[in-house]
A and B are shown apart, each in its own frame.
Chain A
Amino acid sequence: MADFEIGTTLEGMTNIEALTPALSVPRAPFRDYAETVVASSGRVYGRGFPSCRWLFSRLNSSQRDELKGFCSGASANVYIKTLANDDTYHVYFAVMVWPQDEDREPAVRDRLDLEILFTHLVEIPEEEE
């Protein structure tokens, strides 16, 4: 089992595969820095908050509503556990941004390629988890 989790509180985080209905494991590209800045020496700095995306290739309406429950507006503060570029899972406080466009399959209303953006990731140290 993968270890992607989400919750509105740190203590209330749940593995997304354990939600009801369960979600499938998303693809989760992770960006360590918002931007890079080049110093006059040529050194490149990563600057800004990390961000990540959860890409679901297909979610049915119930699964979509389950996920939307964490983000009733355009964005919401959530806690997530996601896979970072060091290939380990970390817990973050994040801003969950719901996509402005949702693509559906006309017949069964399944969402296709739904992309959830998490910005302003602030890692929660393990001792606080």
Chain B
Amino acid sequence: MSRAATSGELAILRSDGLAAKIFAIVDQPVVVYQAQVNQVFTTHDQVAEAAYNNATGTLANVLPGMTVLVGSTPGARDKGLARVRKAWTGSAAYLGEGSEIDWVDDLYLTVIDEFSIWPRHLRVSATNAWMDYDIAYSDQHTNYTPVPALGPDRVLKLVGDDVSVQLSASASWVPGSTITGYAWAVVRGTGASLTGGTTATPTLTATAAGRILIACTVTAANGKTATGYRTVHVYDADNTPVEITLGEWGGSHERGGFDVSFQLPVSPGFSPRDYTKVILFSESQPEAIGPVTGAENLLFIGWMDEADCAVDDKGGTASISARGANYWLSRINGYPSGIENVNGTPAKWTQIQGLTVDKMLHHFITWRTTLANCVDWFATGDTRSAPSFQAPNSNLWQQIATIAEKSILAAPVCDPLSRLRAQVDANYLPVADRAGIPVVMTLTGDDIEYINVTARTAQDVSQVDLSGVSASGSAFFSLAPGRVFGRYGQPMVLDRLLLSSQAQANALAGLVLGREQRAYDFEIGLVSANRLLTLSPRQYLEIDISAGDTPAGIAYSGRVLPREVVIEHNPETGIETMRLVCEPETFPTPAVTSYPPGSDTPFPPFPPIAPPPPLPPPDLPLPVIVPALRVVYALVQHLWGTTIYASTNALDPAAEWIDIGVDLAGDTLSIYGFEVDWLTGAVYVRGMTDVNYESDVIYRSVPYQNLDGSLTPTPLVPWRRPSDFGRRTINGFGINPLTGEAVVVASDEQYFNSGARAVFVGNVRSGDFSLGGSFTDDLWWHAVASIGNGRIVVGFGGISTATTLWTSDNGGSSWTNRTSTTAANRINHIRPNPTGSLLYHWHNSTLAISSDLGSSSNKVSSSVLWGSSMDAIAADPTGTVILAAKAGAPQELFRSVDGGLNFTDLAIGVPTYGVAWAGQIDTGHVFIRRRIGGGGTQLPSYTLDSGATWTDIPTPWNTGVAETSGSCIGIKVIL
């Protein structure tokens, strides 16, 4: 924990004579076992074990997590590094699964007692998943593995006969249980002994200089155990460590941790190695002040970055660069990780009951990394429940950040000793929750050598548009400072957060904007380096600056947060100084509910709906709470979904497809229309069951993604029945996939007839709807409805009278008949994106395009598209590139690249029955379509070049099961 400097420490910092010598320890792990590979490999790929012989050493000394040097000669590592995955047998070496070593018979394996950061890869088969190659799920998400927190490595100076230090594993923790036991051990080290080895705080005594490896196995009340390892380095007058010339010691919130560079004298033949642990410590006068009791002398713990090191053999010096855990986690790529919340005992790796950010982080860091072997890490303490989390394929650090930051704005940050902590930023905490954050020291003019105040005169953010969901699926939307932008800057969109209430959403939006609109940042030079000042855990400095203290004449009094910390050291004088970049404590601005779910006035006055966030480009990394679903095809009697999505080259033809719509207790469903909510991934299907003949019910399914990226279906269950609206049928249904705003058309007539039509408006995320208009237009069974960009558009298909199209710009309070300007005789209409004003519809059997959401429209000028209705149409979100499939001769696919002014025949040769825009990549726009195949089957296919060439996508129904009865209702893509 951060803590306030004591009065004694402040007196030292404000005294004369402070000086320090800085030393480096480059860890020299001990070889514990050597052997030779005794196996012929057929592949280097996915190797996870190797037979061996010719072993020397004690097999029991080989511990999971240790590093294995793989080389062509004894002790060499020219072939690479590996990790001991689990205890070895006398002839089998179990290694972390990898493909980077070219395994051949007779290679030499050298096991060293080094524990560093490794990935633990996921392995999946068609139906099973294992962590770290062969760990099957049993109860790991019910009885969690404890997290050992042993504190940092230590460096002790031996003066006299012995030296002692109290260690502590008191900070060890476990989700849902308590730590009940500690078992410390000296794994290796001459003259080292422990007293109180079964307590949280034993005493280690060393009687000789050297390297000691200690271990502590913590036991949880649930019976689970975990072991952490640390090194203790003891030196004396005859075995002095290497004094260094510090080049750079610094860290920043933005980087997420600390790096160092330094020079040191080295012996000939010194060779830097990646991942070698480096410890910097000091001998300080009159004494070292630091955050860890018994380890105040430590300045840095990290691992050598070989790529940034250089050795001057002639000069006998080496320039070393070492980086903290955050950097090494960012160097390691990890497979995607996804967890969903379940009500009940979890049965597999992808399930957690009472899912929180911390449980997700625990799963990820415990099972996908070896971080806890070598450093402490701490979770956020946040208890908000989440429906699911996903960490897309990325580096481990980014995945941790995605889990914590994209959901609750908790940033992972390592301190200089590589201890990782994910915390919500202090400026994002409600003011009342900041009381526990310590003020490390109050800076006075005696402490400050200089201070520069950067005035932030031009605000970057004019409005924070914040939204998110709760575990129950409720959605909350907030705008700060309100619906009107600030004078300067751009809107900042924070979406898909994990929220517990609308009040919290509003508070957080105000806090975020308050931080973005802060007036100053500070750069402070301290006379004395105070190592209690760091980036994590949260802490404050208090400053009181009068106008005369700063060049800009700016006065400030209050608390500030360190964002960047740099220590500079002059080895000739021993002077250690510190430079801080700080951000002031900020306070929330006002914020308003941008759309109050369930309220009586679902739409605020004009502008009726706050400008939705810009459509994300398809190559953005996936945010944390996202639906797994990417593409949905709907056939008449089947609904298929897949994880295929189009970002860069992500259209994976081999992706698994699942049927998400046939589990209706033996019944089948005729689908009349469907919608997809981009935020929650929910699929809404309007249809009629074929056996029970329950007419026009809206069903809902929320498929979730498995660890291997596949989808698991959830049954389509009735979500809204006509009786919920006091009517006999539901004839139309549309949603805004970004906001969840929805419109339902219901009536008392099942088939065509005149009669009362009612339009209900609401939001699928809150589930609340209210009457938004009544009509008497003819209705031929189905109506179409859409909502977005401030406008509701409803069309009633006529059979005895003209088709009519209505729009409302005020949430259904009043309506305008657009029939005279649109005169649609087929009323299906399509919005190319939910935020634009474009609308495509069929006008006298010809494609028409409206640029004002149906207020008026024009037929396309390409006469080849006249005189026949369209089977399908899709456009990129800007409406520039359009693909239109014509139903009548020529039954072909046409393309416009100028927004519909001109169309050309793509001459595909087979009819297209559904098409959807899926993204844009370097080679062009990606579209997915459904085409007629041989024998009457229909095949999905995709194009990566805006329609010029198409490739079929293998699906269950065209790779074994012919689907001949279905006809494509449409395709929808979640962007």
Contact = CB atoms under 8 A, between A and B. Distances in A.
A45 B527 contact: yes
A89 interface: no
A76 B15 CA distance: 29
B159 A37 contact: no
A34 B19 CA distance: 9
Contacts of B446: 39, 41, 43
Q: Is the interface of A mostly helix, strand, loop or mixed?
A: loop
A35 B573 contact: yes
A50 B577 CA distance: 17
A37 B16 CA distance: 10
B444 A48 contact: no
Interface string A107-127: 000000000000110100000
B742 to A, nearest CB: 61
Contacts of B27: none
Interface string A20-60: 00000000000011110111111101111110000000000
B528 interface: yes
A40 B450 contact: yes
A128 interface: yes
Contacts of A119: 572
A15 to B, nearest CB: 22
Nearest to A34: B573
B817 interface: no
Contacts of A47: 16-19, 527-528, 573, 575
A85 to B, nearest CB: 12
Contacts of A34: 19, 570, 572-575
B445 A48 contact: no
Interface string A77-113: 0000000000000000000000000000000000000
Nearest to B159: A128
Interface in B218-238: 237
Contact of A48 (B14, B19, B448): B19
Contacts of A35: 573, 575
B449 A32 contact: no
Nearest to A44: B16
A39 B448 contact: yes
Contacts of A33: 16-17
B810 to A, nearest CB: 60
Nearest to B21: A120
Given A45-B16, A45-B528, A122-B283, A40 B575 contact: no
B549 A46 contact: no
B165 interface: no
Nearest to B576: A47
B19 A40 contact: no
Contact of B449 (A9, A37, A46, A49): A37
Contacts of B445: 39-43
B16 A40 contact: no
Nearest to B445: A41
B285 A41 contact: no
A88 B19 CA distance: 22
Interface in B490-537: 527-528
Contact of A37 (B237, B283, B285, B527): B527
B451 interface: yes
A67 B432 CA distance: 67
Interface string B2-46: 000000000000111111010000000000000000000000000
B447 interface: yes
B721 to A, nearest CB: 73
Nearest to B13: A45
A38 B450 CA distance: 10
Most buried by B among A40, A47, A49, A120: A40
Contacts of A9: 237
Given A40-B445, A40-B549, A49 B574 contact: yes
Interface string B433-459: 000000000001111111100000000
A51 B236 CA distance: 23
A119 B575 CA distance: 13
Given A34-B573, A34-B574, A37-B527, A49 B450 contact: no
A48 B283 contact: no
Contacts of B18: 45, 47-48
A100 B424 CA distance: 57
Most buried by A among B285, B528, B574: B574
* Interface core residue of B17, B159, B447, B451 (most chain A CB under 10 Å): B17
A46 B21 contact: no
Contacts of A50: 17
Contacts of B447: 39
A42 B527 CA distance: 12
Contacts of A38: 449
B326 to A, nearest CB: 32
Point out which of B14, B16, B237, B449 has the most chain A C-beta atoms below 10 A from its C-beta: B16
B444 A41 contact: yes
Which of B15, B21, B285, B451 gathers most chain A CB within 10 Å?
A: B285
Given A38-B449, A40-B445, A49 B16 contact: no
Nearest to A41: B445
A48 to B, nearest CB: 4
Contact of A40 (B21, B449, B573, B577): B449
A71 to B, nearest CB: 17
Nearest to B550: A40
Contacts of B285: 49, 122
B786 to A, nearest CB: 64
Nearest to B450: A40
Contact of B448 (A40, A46, A122, A128): A40
Nearest to A123: B285
B24 to A, nearest CB: 17
Nearest to B285: A122
A23 to B, nearest CB: 25
A11 B445 CA distance: 44
Nearest to A51: B573
B451 A40 contact: yes
Contacts of A32: 16-17
B877 to A, nearest CB: 55
B17 A46 contact: yes
A110 to B, nearest CB: 31
Contacts of B577: 37
Contacts of A45: 14-16, 18, 527-528
Contacts of B19: 34, 47-49, 120
A37 B445 CA distance: 13
Contacts of B237: 9
A49 to B, nearest CB: 4
A49 B444 contact: no
Contacts of A122: 283, 285
A34 to B, nearest CB: 3
Given A122-B285, A128-B159, A39 B17 contact: no
Contacts of A42: 445
Contacts of B449: 37-40
Nearest to B447: A39
B16 A39 contact: no
Interface string B687-720: 0000000000000000000000000000000000
Contacts of B16: 32-33, 45-47
Contacts of B528: 45, 47
A17 to B, nearest CB: 26
Contacts of A120: 19, 21, 574
A42 B449 CA distance: 9
16 contacts: A9-B237, A33-B17, A35-B573, A37-B449, A37-B527, A39-B445, A39-B448, A40-B445, A40-B449, A41-B445, A45-B15, A45-B18, A45-B528, A49-B573, A122-B283, A122-B285
Task: Identify the 8 closest CB pairs spanning chains A and B, nearest first.
Answer: A41-B445, A34-B573, A48-B573, A46-B16, A49-B574, A49-B19, A48-B575, A47-B575
Given A40-B450, A41-B446, 14 more contacts: A34-B19, A34-B574, A39-B446, A39-B448, A41-B448, A43-B446, A47-B16, A47-B19, A47-B528, A48-B19, A49-B574, A120-B21, A120-B574, A128-B159
